[in-house]
Chains A and B, each alone.
Chain A
Amino acid sequence: MAVIKTDHLSRVYEDHGVPVKAVDDVSLSIEEGEFTAIVGPSGSGKTTFLNMVGGLDAPSSGTIEVDGKQISQMKQNELIGFRLRHIGFVFQAYNLIPVLTAKENVEFIMLLQKKSKAERDKRATELLDAVGLGDRLGRRPHELSGGQQQRVAVARALASMPSFVLADEPTANLDSTSAENLLDIMERLNKEQKMTFVFSTHDPRVVARAHRVVTLRDGAIESDETRS
């Protein structure tokens, strides 16, 4: 079953009065359990595509279906609620809340979902254990390395029990060891929990592990390669 389906998706920006096509007529279907990398050079439209699929940006034309629901026509507040229940995000720059501990950062998303304290406690601890940070629950982001912060971000993305995780250049700010570590964790979660991951990246380490690689150029799909 397709968790994400785009149909003739386009996004046109105005740059000093000149229309720029950031995403150009992209039709794509991503199935449950995929480990997909959207690749392409800078400015190819990877992030814009991911933002639209994540409901953070509205398409100029075309449709986006997530979990069988059209999100392109949803209103702002509806989209916020939808994102909270269906989509996990891992951003390039960690983007943890600096005044909260690792555990509280993971709990935060469940708090927005109005989960009980007991459930929040249990799941946050389990997830941080799963990403190898069971002994860092009480640390604040500035007390963690970049790799550790990104692992907290992965745990947070999974906390809401999303249908899929969108990861925008998740390894861009990490050293090799941390990046490999993070990818190991994501790969394991993909295998064990059948969690769907969609990356926008130009990191060859991510591309090497992806089961499917969609290449964008000038906003359009240049190639779509599925690996066994």
Chain B
Amino acid sequence: MRLYFSLAWRNIWRNKRRSLISMSSILFAVMLAIMSRSMMIGTFERMIDTIVGTFSGYIQVHQEGYFDSSSLDDIFVPSSDLLAQIEGTEHVTLAVPRLESFALVSSGDNTNGARIIGIDPAKEDQMTAISERISTGSYFTEASEGIILGSELAKDLKKTVGDTIILLGSGYHGITAAGRFVVEGLVSFPADEMSAALAYLPLPVAQHLYGVEEGITTLAVMLDHARNLERARNALEVVLSDEYEVITWKMMVPELDQLVQMKYVGQDLVLALIYIVVGFGILGTVLMMTMERLREFGMVTALGMKKRTLAIIVLIESSLLTLSGAIAAMVLTIPILAKLQQEPIQLTGKMAEGYESYGFEPVLAFTLHAPIFFWQTFFVLLIALVSSSYPFFRISKLNSVEAMRTGH
């Protein structure tokens, strides 16, 4: 086999310039593919991190039925065993309790509807770093009994820190939930829509308001990495009883998942076109390598080489040709991506504003995710295989005597 590899490698270098051009085309195509794929995955992962990190969590655990009903009647009391089970599940780093409902937020003549979230101040801050988003006033302390309003909501209500607002809603089993709260702080999110319709209460205060005692609606779950979403979900479904439902961010924010999938498909099409163009280049090279060696093919089969062995050598040739380009591309790309992973490209101007308006960080992030490299290698090998189909065909139809007459 070593001589076959050696033979294939030397055959590639029979025409150095042609092989170098082919390898270069593969090198640039693979570099482009890896870089663009790395940027798309890196940027989307960062977007998802921002969204799930600032709000939903990668996964939420509810009482079965809550996701559809959003009703306070579907609450549960998180026992310490349950929390231990969830936090002990592989890939889970944190489980944060929440009581989520809606209420009218009223002040004088101004009334707005808002999502009211009862939070465990310390754990919530650990998960979402919400204290860093407080634009005015301060974040909850252990003793807090007030409310934190979204900055846009406060603006609509014409209220600020130290003012009082009234919450009016429907509580557990339809009881009236009403209370007066002092505004302790204002929170600003990158997306104004969020800041205009959100308010936080300390969890015990919210539980009292809605009359749910120690009940919560949600355990927001953080993971060690976004890529472990399905693994963690499956593990949680195994661990938890049927009383609970396990909902991923993809189910909670399907628009984001669809956007990501759509972008991937778009990029796949562009990359497929690039690879088709490169594939034809390789095919051209392999075609020339075949045609100019027909006589040699005839000679080696006359001597006793099986056509199958000859086909394998040709396949090794095209594989080595494409792999050389791909490996060179990886060698060049890895340090660039490692640097960009550490220091993402910061967007400025209109593009940055566009990102920020959707609540995303204005950066182009990159990742050194190993499967990107695996898939590009797979695709170039696929090209090698497809490019070898013509020589395979010629070899299968080869007549040694006629082939040896060519080139005379």
Interface residues of A (CB under 8 A from B): 51, 54, 56-57, 77, 80-81, 83-85, 89, 91, 93, 95, 97-100, 104, 107-109, 111-113, 156, 160
- Indicate which residue in B300, B303, B306, B408 contacts A93 across the interface (CB closer than 8 Å): B408
Contact at B3–A107, with CB atoms within 8 Å?
yes
**For the complex, is B401 an interface residue (Cβ under 8 Å from A)?**
yes
User: Closest CB of chain A to B295's CB: distance in Å?
Assistant: 8
The stretch among B7-15, B79-87, B173-181 that forms the contact with chain A is: B7-15
Contact at B299–A80, with CB atoms within 8 Å?
no
A52 to B125, CA, bound (A): 88
**For the complex, is B50 an interface residue (Cβ under 8 Å from A)?**
no
Contact at A108–B3, with CB atoms within 8 Å?
yes
Contact at A100–B302, with CB atoms within 8 Å?
no
Contact at B304–A84, with CB atoms within 8 Å?
yes
**For the complex, is B305 an interface residue (Cβ under 8 Å from A)?**
yes
Chain B positions within 8 Å of A85 at CB level? 304
Query: Interface readout for B1-22 with A: 1 if CB under 8 Å, 0 if not?
Result: 0010001001101100000000
Chain B positions within 8 Å of A112 at CB level? 303-305, 309
Contact at A99–B14, with CB atoms within 8 Å?
yes
A81 to B303, CA, bound (A): 9
Query: Interface readout for B45-70 with A: 1 if CB under 8 Å, 0 if not?
Result: 00000000000000000000000000
Contact at B304–A109, with CB atoms within 8 Å?
yes
Chain A positions within 8 Å of B296 at CB level? 95, 97-98
A163 to B13, CA, bound (A): 36
Q: Which 5 A-B pairs have the closest CB atoms?
A: A84-B304, A99-B10, A95-B299, A83-B304, A56-B401
Query: Interface readout for B290-332 with A: 1 if CB under 8 Å, 0 if not?
Result: 0000011001111111110100000000000000000000000
A13 to B234, CA, bound (A): 71
Contact at B300–A97, with CB atoms within 8 Å?
yes
A-B contact count (CB 8 A): 60
Interface residues of B (CB under 8 A from A): 3, 7, 10-11, 13-14, 295-296, 299-307, 309, 400-401, 404, 408
* Nearest CB in chain A to that of B13: its residue: A99
Chain B positions within 8 Å of A51 at CB level? 401
* Nearest CB in chain B to that of A52: its residue: B401
Contact at A95–B404, with CB atoms within 8 Å?
yes
* Nearest CB in chain B to that of A111: its residue: B3
A98 to B307, CA, bound (A): 19
Chain A positions within 8 Å of B309 at CB level? 112
User: Closest CB of chain A to B9's CB: distance in Å?
Assistant: 9
- Indicate which residue in B11, B13, B303, B306 contacts A89 across the interface (CB closer than 8 Å): B303
Chain A positions within 8 Å of B306 at CB level? 77, 80-81
Chain B positions within 8 Å of A81 at CB level? 304, 306
Contact at A109–B303, with CB atoms within 8 Å?
yes
Chain B positions within 8 Å of A160 at CB level? 304
A57 to B403, CA, bound (A): 12
Contact at A80–B7, with CB atoms within 8 Å?
no
